[in-house]
Chains A and B, each alone.
Chain A
Amino acid sequence: MKATVIDARDNVAVVLGEVKKGDPITFTKGGKSFEVTAAGDIPPYHKIANEFIPKGQLVIKYGEHIGIAAEDIAEGAHVHVHNVLNSREDLHKEVNA
């Protein structure tokens, strides 16, 4: 099954179909091809960790921060509300910097 990594900084990919545990998932990131093994079932268009994301680390999609890992997220794991926390950042600082 193919997955899409939107930005080379992303640690998640979007799976392009229904994924079963153990399925090989292929994606391209920063011009290189990778394959990970799905750690569980993942519904179509949900996110898969394209690398290990330690607890407390930022979850990155579109090259931007979409939340914080609530637990250690294994490579190939489903990334969603069960393991991601909201985080509101002061984005004004970023523009002024």
Chain B
Amino acid sequence: MNFLGYRRPDGRVGVRNKVLILPASICAADTARIVASNVDGAITFHNQNGCAQIPSDQQLTMDVMAGFAANPNIYGTIVISLGCENCQMDLVVDAIKERTNKPLKTFIIQEVGGTIATVEAATRAAREMVQEASVLKREEFPVSELILGTECGGSDPTSGLASNPLIGETCDRVVDLGGTAVLSETTELIGAEHILAKRGATPEVSQRIFDIVYRYEDALKKVGSDPREGNPSPGNKAGGITTLEEKSLGCIHKGGHRPVNNVYDYAKQMKTGEGLVIMDTPGNDPSSVAGMIAGGCQVVVFSTGRGTPTGNPVAPVIKITANPITYGKMKDNIDVDASGLLENPESIGEMSDALLQEICDIASGKATKSESLGFMEMAIARVCNYV
């Protein structure tokens, strides 16, 4: 099965062709917002970080910034910094260049001469870059070029019963076709880590699965907390999920049935053709989605039981629910109705064929509902993390 994408000079294949206006810190975020709003085809996000961070926390921000710039859905990047922040322009540029050789321009507000002068110069540069990008034509590529992210948010028992198994079955197909599929959300591996560890391709991978789960729990214990204080959420409970273990056991179905070949830290660069991998991300949806997209995912499939509008500026997020009541109420936000699986579990093969086709259609340019509505929620994981 193939899709139509854009070949980048670093060899990777994108499914969108946008110019990223990248704020190096919160102090450049509004300037970046104004620049992106001036140019059709440019995108940005609100970076809350980039300054006043300790090194381990700053590294998470740097990895997301560099990863977004390197994501193959991005044609090129214009970095805007204030000038005095911890995420100095040369550090950001070096981090991007470690990952990609795509077009890159920079503007430092304090050097250019304030935000109005920067908006003018960066808008002109963004316009030029968007025009260069517009000349590219989509070409046909196999599914093996995809790194497919998986996420669940606003889960209810239909997630574990139907939509997550459907995503898992589809991940199996992507893996069997030579692609990479990513399971995420470490908080929602808690209580199910043994099942994944048994599927580790090597003893080291199995140990890493335990390590990321215990690291998460230990970090929360150090501040006198427990992940159960924030998870399951009130909506998960109203939907019928009782404990974190129950949520996790439903969550991991998104990873399908293939061996786990690698475990990545948050926002680190992943590889194509690696089969099923895990990324250590928080359960907070926008920050987990952002980590996987920074790692190179061109498309994310996202199951929901309660219904969520989540999108992302860099990659399409395909929303799926198996709860017919939720689909009825929130079909403006949800792309795929998988409720037929609840009554008819044997249709999973047919439905995963259809979901893979939908992934290829969206990769080829069809807009998701979150894209067409302009949803681009964004959060970056912190050392003192979300749950």
Contact = CB atoms under 8 A, between A and B. Distances in A.
B325 interface: yes
Interface in A21-69: 43-47, 59, 61-62, 64-67
A47 B157 CA distance: 9
List the 5 closest pairs (A to B, CB-CB), nearest first: A46-B240, A91-B194, A66-B246, A45-B157, A62-B249
Contacts, number: 78
Contact of B210 (A4, A6, A59, A92): A92
A86 B158 CA distance: 21
- Most-contacted residue by chain A among B160, B194, B197, B228 (CB, 10 A): B194
B161 A79 contact: no
A6 to B, nearest CB: 7
A91 B197 CA distance: 10
Main secondary structure of the interface of A (DSSP, over half): mixed
A75 B367 CA distance: 48
Interface of A: 2, 4, 6, 14, 16, 43-47, 59, 61-62, 64-67, 79-81, 84, 86-89, 91-92, 94-95
A92 B195 CA distance: 10
B344 to A, nearest CB: 11
A62 B240 contact: no
A84 B243 contact: yes
B41 interface: no
**From DSSP, what is the main secondary structure of chain B's interface residues?**
helix
A47 B240 contact: yes
Interface residues of B, number: 32
A86 B243 contact: yes
Interface in B161-212: 161, 190-195, 197-198, 206, 210
Contact of B245 (A64, A79, A95): A64
Interface of B: 156-158, 160-161, 190-195, 197-198, 206, 210, 228, 237, 239-240, 242-246, 249-250, 305, 323, 325, 342-343, 345
Given A66-B249, A91-B193, A92-B194, A14 B161 contact: yes
A24 to B, nearest CB: 18
B206 to A, nearest CB: 7
B243 A45 contact: no
Given A14-B161, A45-B240, 17 more contacts: A14-B157, A16-B343, A45-B239, A45-B305, A45-B323, A47-B240, A64-B249, A66-B191, A67-B245, A79-B242, A80-B237, A81-B242, A86-B243, A86-B244, A86-B245, A92-B210, A95-B194
B246 A61 contact: yes
A65 B210 CA distance: 18
Contact of A91 (B191, B228, B305, B325): B191
